[in-house]
Chain A
């Protein structure tokens, strides 16, 4: 029977943990010690059997996606908490500047229009709900959501607080519309979500209200931006949301000069 130390030594040899001198010494011992050699053979067999039989578990793709998505929501609180003055000012400056005028964002946006665009936005809205994670940043605080967009877009969309009117903010998301990342605000109404996508205004005036596959769509223009609201709530409710949002956005830009 091998002693405890001999077992540890044998094991270290198998695991490749001995240096050259240690290995030489071990091999010398092995040659003259039958029980040590037997232990060596058993451990070696065990290792080979485990390598042969065991498959290393691999993280499922869904888990991988959830983990990858995790990094995004963490940014908002960090920015809000530790924003240096210049960053706060930059965020404010974007808001104060509003969305009018030309920007890189506009230049980047290829053209898709009308119902095609509505279909795309409805698909994004549905996918957001199906994934169980309709937003990349979850917050009812517009002061969290605004800077989160500000770190990602040269011009952040207007974010207004409509909680008192029954449409609390739920968070923000980035969708890729026609190849360009676009900011999406998510509002909640009772148990339903409203996806509000801000896109650079196209030349043709967009449809104002649509119902497609049971989804209500409201579109309105504010300066250089088209706002597309998508939800499964009643068209009249969504129209009310639009009016509230427009009024609040107008009041907000007047206040900010």
Chain B
């Protein structure tokens, strides 16, 4: 399509263009602007994307698949990235890719039967003890976070692992700020109940 459809006058311009190309030769040897853009926007936040995917999927092999898919989407959508918070942008894509992946591969994990927005702590539940929470180790915490329903899990991970603000989390998940706060409280409440109740030990 390029060489074959070249009209006669293409040859006239050829010498001139070639000259310019030779001068540009050095800069052409380096990566194109689009590569640099992708590198600048996506690469610095790869660990954050991977951490989120790892917690949502629960293992590294699936997390790699999710991050790879997310980066493909990011690359395709790079034209639409309007500047601003690159980390939140990539995490939004990663989060969506993770849930698409979960829906396809582990549909049961996404079924949440209870009313997830209800905040009321269960009456009569023992008050978690600080001393017991203090003793929780990595394995117990990972197990407890892994057992959280996905909406709580992603909110907790975005806050406590990725270190995002409430506003950023609300933007990424696409829910009101109040919902972020209540999900976070529920997630933490479940963790504390898990570690802090005497019968758990």
Contacts and interface: CB of A to CB of B under 8 A. Distances in A.
Interface of A: 1, 4, 7-8, 11-12, 15, 17, 38, 41-43, 45-47, 49-50, 53-60, 63-64, 66-68, 70-72, 74-75, 78, 80, 83, 86, 88-97, 103-105, 108, 143, 146-147, 151-155, 181, 256-257
Interface of B: 1-3, 6, 10-11, 13-15, 17-18, 20-22, 24-26, 28-29, 31-32, 34-35, 38-39, 42-43, 46-47, 49-51, 54-55, 60, 63-64, 67-68, 71-72, 75-76, 119-121, 127-128, 130, 133-134, 136-138, 141-142, 159-161, 165-166, 181-182, 184-185, 188-189, 191-192, 195-196
A74 B165 CA distance: 33
Query: Main SS of the interface on chain A?
Result: helix
A91 B2 contact: yes
A11 B188 contact: yes
Contact of B50 (A57, A71, A80): A57
B14 A96 contact: yes
Given A57-B63, A93-B10, A96-B6, A46 B133 contact: yes
B138 A8 contact: no
Nearest to B29: A181
A89 B128 contact: no
A55 B126 CA distance: 30
B71 A4 contact: no
Given A42-B196, A67-B43, A96-B11, 12 more contacts: A8-B182, A42-B133, A45-B130, A50-B160, A54-B160, A55-B138, A68-B43, A71-B34, A72-B35, A89-B6, A93-B13, A257-B11
A53 B136 contact: yes
A217 B13 CA distance: 38
A103 B87 CA distance: 42
B42 A60 contact: no
Given A78-B34, A90-B17, A181-B29, A46 B46 contact: no
Contacts of B20: 90
The listed residue with most B CB atoms (<10 A of its CB), out of A58, A66, A67, A154, is: A67
B45 to A, nearest CB: 10
Contacts of B49: 59
A46 B136 CA distance: 9
Contacts of A42: 128, 130, 133, 192, 196
Given A11-B181, A45-B134, A92-B14, A70 B75 contact: yes
A17 B180 CA distance: 12
Query: Main SS of the interface on chain B?
Result: helix
30 contacts: A11-B184, A11-B188, A38-B130, A42-B133, A42-B192, A42-B196, A43-B188, A46-B133, A49-B195, A53-B138, A54-B138, A54-B142, A54-B160, A54-B161, A56-B161, A57-B50, A57-B51, A59-B50, A63-B50, A63-B67, A72-B31, A92-B2, A92-B10, A93-B14, A96-B3, A97-B14, A103-B22, A143-B2, A153-B25, A257-B11
A59 B177 CA distance: 29
B42 A67 contact: yes
B58 to A, nearest CB: 11
Contacts of A92: 2-3, 6, 10, 14
A154 B127 contact: no
